[in-house]
Structure 1
Amino acid sequence: MKRVWCLYRVSTKKQVNTDDDLPMQKNACRNFVEKMADWEITNELSEKGVSGWSKKGNQRDALKVIREGARNREFDVLLVFMFDRLGRREDETPMVVSFLNENGVEVWSVQEGRRNIESHNDKLMNYLSFWLSDNESHKTSIRVRESKKQLSSQGYFQGGTPPIGYKIYETAELHWKNKDRRKKELMIEEKESELIKIIFSLYINRHMGYRKIVDYINSKGFRTRDGKLFGVSTVQRIVGNPIYTGRKRYKSFDGKMHEQPHNEKLRIISDEAFNQAQDIKNKRRLCMTQQDKEGIPLTGKLMFSGLAHCRYCGAKLSGNYLYRKQRKGEKETTTVIYRYKCPLNKGNISGHHACSIWGAKKYDNLILQQVKQILKLSAVHFLEEFSVNLRKNKERCNENNILMLEREERDGYKKLKNLHEEIARSLDGESMFTPLQLSQAIKGLEEKIKENQKNRSLLKSENDNGKLINPQDWDALFDEADDDLKKALFSKIIDKIFLAKEAVFIDFTVQFEKLILYNPEV
């Protein structure tokens, strides 16, 4: 086990606040030691208000203790936050490192790693390094980063606009950098927090999408802090932000997202409600790419939503669903049944309704059969347009894949170049890899590039030789097309669809009606 001594030092000028900089250095050094398997801190030395420029090494008590400890073999490693903690005198500090190395002590920095002075080159590099360390602005920047990172991890507010549902208040604690300021924290803003609860309730309990939620809250008079209407992106961010359960995220200087310690005072939504919202969001995202809507009801599942009307009162039908449970032995399954429903069937107010709910599976199929039959007989040019759109979608997908393959190929050639350069170093004994290992890596990469080129050629050939759909074969291809493409076609040829009991009536667009009239077979 290596015995570690830590040295912390701050001067009173051009640095972060002296009361907070030492704890920051301590935390960073302790975290660094925890990551080293065989290290243990046995002593910690601190210097407050000591300048690395104005005081020489023999005038600094901490360095005297360190020298004495090194002579007596009391420790194996000296750890500092940055090497300028040893001092910034280019004529003396390298000598301190050299003395410690000669007495068997390793000198490490949290930010800069290990420092050796074993060769002439090491001495030159260390001399230049310490000489350049008077560039204080860069050093201060790193220390400020560390302080802000630690304050963020402790739950303090580090600036910016508070999320909707919260406001900022000043604590009694003094700011880490300026004693005239105080640290800030978030607290719940009552009015805005009610809006957050409404949004989550609409999303979870009423299965509303972002657009419907936006329309709802705007119609109820809710506005942003600027007095503007809410937008979809704002609601999206709210639904996905864990701060409403007391877990605030922050972006560190390394670009990665981290979470502050859980703060129950910030909770607006229960963990159960938030997790339920994330589950709904993930399933909806998945169904957009895989058309897999199992487990989450979506009224958009209805093929003729927006076109379907009630035959009895003329009202536009709304989407509806119910759960049906079935038991086979000990196993129970749940199925979602999608339906069209007349919103005006309330007693006799809108007249007699022989039927007010229509199963989507049955009636969508009836409509599809009628539409497909008419298209097959009369509307060749619509089929051609459908064919063109289908081909364009295919080409667009292929082009995206081609671009991805080209990017991978460029990266592959760069890696190949680096591997060939590494072989030369390996032959000179300067590489950690053997020529055989590098040769095998090159072979594997070359095979991958060839496979990449082959796939790219196939995709290009498919785009160049793509054919339009033969009207005689369109029936099967229509069934294979995605729902969005089908809906786009229906919107061009259908004006309205009226549903009655065991019957459907289709009103086609004026343009399509003209095509039907010109075709005697229909």
Structure 2
Amino acid sequence: MGKVAIYARVSTIEKQDYKRQISDCKTAIGNLYTEDNIEIFAEQISGYKENEARPQLSKLLSIIENDATYFSKIYCTEISRLGRDPRATRSLIDNLTDKKIPIFITSINKQTLDENGERDSTMNIILQVLMEFADSESKTMKKRSKSGLLQSVINGNAGGSKNLPYGYTKDENKKLIIDDEEAEIIKEIFNLYKQGNGFKAIANILNFKEVPTRTQKAFGNQLMKYKTEKTADKVTWTDVAIDKIIKNSIYYGQRRFKGNLYPAPAIIEEQLFRECNEITATKTHRNYLTTYTYLLKDLLICGCCGRNYFAKFKPVEGGDKVYICSSRLIKGGNCGNIGVNISLLESAIYEEFISSGRLANYIQMNKVDIFEELKTKISTLEIDLKIAQSDVAKKENEKKRLLDLYLADKIDSNAFEKKQSEINQSEFELTTKIDLLKEEIFQNKKILDKQSDKQTTTQMLIDAKDNRTELKTLFNQFISRIIINKLDAKTVLASVFITYGGKEIGHPIKLFLNIRGLISRPMKYEYISAIGIDYRPIYRRNILLNNPAKLLLEVEEKKIVYDPLGEIDDFLIINIPSENLIIIENTYPISKKS
């Protein structure tokens, strides 16, 4: 007695498995064949896949190709199990018919060949109708499925997957809701990224804190199929996971489905999401080995295109020392806004804070906020430090293992020296990072100590004048954003938005920077302070919308030259005194060892 085959298939979107199909086929076979003479080919794959892409079907056809008499019959429950594409399925049936191998369809209790082993014409017509119907049914089902999924998203449903976006869960009605505990982690991720930490650094911080991943929570110790198999509880945070979170619009309340956005519960503000993604687009991440501390990093925004400004500094004679729009990094994307000298902008803001006396109130109002933010900052830096110290220890072990291999003659001298050089370079970078982290922790702790002093005033800024790390920390407590606009060939408007009592003040401090003063000899660091003007700039999404020329005209009409012995007017041309100049040239980079 020959053998028979059972072919069973379910698609990837079908809920059931193929056990029922196998059972129905065995019932149809009855006692005609023993278990030893029945071979089963079953798989979960789309019926629209080509035969070669369906491993079990391909295996079945390969056996027949090598020996057309191996199987005397093939059983399946429906013609759609063989395939959904009418032409491909027709070709498959014709090929088996030519080889005199009948296909028995259990749902209609008929087979493709008659008693004489010839093509059954009636069955041929029935099969053609069934194949076309199977194709039509599948396409209709897909449309309904897509429509149902869309409606589910619109209704705010969470979906059936365990793998929900981190920060979310579902309620008893299967609606997508915020998981309060995970939401705090999401907020921490975005804030860490805005503060200058890269994807890998954030992943390291979360792993160091032993924060469970979504996979750990959803799948426990279930075996997961990655490049190397591991159980779910061993799946840790990675830079890829952080990257996906930073770019996922669901976190500011816009759930993406099939290229469109639909409302969802928001965990963070849209402004924070856009700021982080702007940093991603321009790759202005913190790098501890470029040791210049830019006081206004991540605070500057282009008033023309809304992108962030970044610092471009070359510590050589005539080298760039400017904040410029990140649109210049995009080929053909330069929005035309002007760069502004780093020292001029930083010094103008510093002088305004020191001379106006306005900052004293801000410091007092924000003391609690600063205290909490500094504690969080110090905690994050200390975790960074522990991770870096652990990495140095690993490098020492690498060097020992490398030396053992060399002494055991398992690697030659060239390979040894090359690998040793790589480890030494990596170790140098880590030790440099450790030194810088220690310094930053020390400076932040100094500020924290000062925050406990009830007499704290603008004296903090005065004392921090020559300490860029401390000064940057203070600036970040009171400045929420600075919008830059070129007004004419000699004037740049810096609109400095201040945070007061935890909220941003609606009207910014407006500083009109004289960029021409920097090319005069002697060099002039000069700006106009406009405390109050009738014409107010209008901003939307960080872009200056109304006519900046009109704003400049009013300033030009009202400005006066500052006379220390005269009365102070609302409009002053201020020459920044040398004692209040913040000159970036006074800082020096740490060079890498060769």
Could you state the TM-score of these two structures normalised by the residue count of structure 1?
0.30
Could you state the TM-score of these two structures normalised by the residue count of structure 2?
0.27
